[in-house]
Structure 1
Amino acid sequence: MLNPQPAHHPLRTVLQQLTPRCCPGRVNFHCHTTCSDGSLLPQELAEQAVALGLEHLAITDHHSISAYGPVLEHFEAASHSGQSVPRLWRGVEISCLLEGCLVHVLALGFGEHHSSLGPYLHGQSVVGPALQAEAVLEAGRQAGALLLLAHPARYRLPFQRLIAAAYRLGFDGAEAWYDYQMQPRWAPTPVVCEAIAADLQQRGLLMSCGTDTHGLALHGR
């Protein structure tokens, strides 16, 4: 197991307080813009985040953090005009191999100095040894990120096996609440999300949630 992220990471406290009802109205730790495969421009996503009254937001474009700067600028301008804005956390969705299965990892809350993640921020998946989950975890650790397995029930291997493997390696947690049914307005899928949350809780792992928005409405998929 890799060295765990320090217990005082500020995002850890936020994730420990999440419930299934926090998304999509209060928090969103998984969404996309035109900087990867989303439909919303960064500024459009930022406008919707403010309108929704989000408290915390992480944009997790695939292998890109290009949206972070424009969204931060929008939030700063909105705040100066008297609007309430979310706290913006750096985030990225990274492809890697876990148990020989191609999965997605959310790296969240990393710092301004994140050079170790550089190979994973060029807009496409890496190849070779850097594609292994261990390598992604190590790069994320060096950047100060929390590492969470995205949508554990969307892969060819059972989520129980993948969560167990992620736990052994030192992942911080996984996406507990996710809309696997892809409804017009986001809602966690019963039974499967409850089972994932119970598994994570038993292991003492963090739970996250997000809409995984690729369309034009931040409250849906």
Structure 2
Amino acid sequence: MLVGWGRVLSVESHPLREVLRDVGPDSCPDICNFHCHTQCSDGSLQPLQLIEQATERGLSHLAVTDHHSSASFLPMLDWLNQRRQRGDKVPTLWSGMEISAILRGCLVHVLALGFEPGHKALAVYNSGDAAVGEDLRAESVCRAIHEAGGLAILAHPGRYRVGFADLIDAAAELGFDGGEAWYDYDMQTRWSWSPVVCEAIDRRLKNLGLLRTCGTDSHGLNLEGR
């Protein structure tokens, strides 16, 4: 099922917020995955291969976040609708995209989740390449995601040259909705969150009242790992 776009909601009442409130370190990779890739950017799986694997694994919630592309979304949605009509249990699919941005002078990645597909506000970020100039600023990215009805999430805050505490604080000041709290910084064959850094990121996000997500950041042939 697709929920959470456009005319149905405001950012404050986005239905994905309720889902993310229940997400914890044990949610990924078997229940939720809000960060993964297909051949529409730099992943190895074709979109239908990925959604079929997610369905076979029994995922409840999924967002595919290709870099500067949402091309995989509608084909996967059509596939899920066909399976649902057959009576199969399928994941809830949320629109997603991973967008490059400059935050505190650092190039970071922002996950856009649950936005209206095809919304003009995201057109500059949905062309296969990073934006330039003013559009590359994190505040511009966050504003565009919100205009499209989506949530703005700081991806893997512990992977940048600027410390995660400074980046999370800066994202909060700009109105970001949350951050990727649980992530496999060791990039293991089977996803497992990295306790020390993830616990610290989780605490910082929680103290700021921000949402926390999880994702495998899969680029290979298996959604269980990166």
Does the aligned pair in 1 maintain the 2:11–2:151 contact within 8 Å? no
Amino acid at match of 2:57: L
Q: CA deviation at 1:113?
A: 5.3
1:5-53 CA-to-partner distances (Å, cap 9, x unmatched) read 6431100110111111011111110000000000000010011000110
Q: What is aligned with 1:15?
A: 20
Q: Does 1:96 align with 2:101?
A: yes
Q: Give the SS at the match of 2:195.
A: coil
Q: Does 1:203 align with 2:208?
A: yes
Q: Give the SS at the match of 1:191.
A: helix
Q: How many residue pairs end up in the alignment?
A: 217
- Which of 154, 157, 175 is equivalent to 1:152? 157
Amino acid at match of 1:122: S
TM-score by length of 1: 0.96
Q: Does 1:220 align with 2:222?
A: no
Q: Aligned partners of 2:164, 2:108: CA distance in 1, in Å?
A: 11
- Which of 52, 60, 70 is equivalent to 1:55? 60
Q: Aligned partners of 1:8, 1:182: CA distance in 2, in Å?
A: 34
TM-score by length of 2: 0.94
Show the 5 A alignment for 1:60-209: 60-112=65-117, 114-209=119-214
Amino acid at match of 1:32: H
Q: Aligned partners of 1:183, 1:113: CA distance in 2, in Å?
A: 34
Q: Aligned partners of 1:90, 1:199: CA distance in 2, in Å?
A: 26
Moved more, 87-96 or 110-119: 110-119
Amino acid at match of 1:128: G
- Which of 12, 29, 34 is equivalent to 2:34? 29
Aligned CA RMSD, in angstroms, stands at 0.9
Q: Which runs of 4+ in 1 moved over 4 A?
A: none
Q: Aligned partners of 2:131, 2:172: CA distance in 1, in Å?
A: 23
Amino acid at match of 2:167: L
Q: Give the SS at the match of 1:135.
A: helix
Q: Aligned partners of 2:117, 2:169: CA distance in 1, in Å?
A: 31
1:86-127 CA-to-partner distances (Å, cap 9, x unmatched) read 111111000000001000000100124511000000001011
Q: Which runs of 5+ in 2 are unaligned?
A: 1-9
Q: CA deviation at 1:81?
A: 2.2
Q: Aligned partners of 1:189, 1:86: CA distance in 2, in Å?
A: 26
Q: CA deviation at 1:79?
A: 1.4
Q: CA deviation at 1:158?
A: 0.4
Amino acid at match of 2:32: V
Q: Aligned partners of 1:95, 1:16: CA distance in 2, in Å?
A: 25
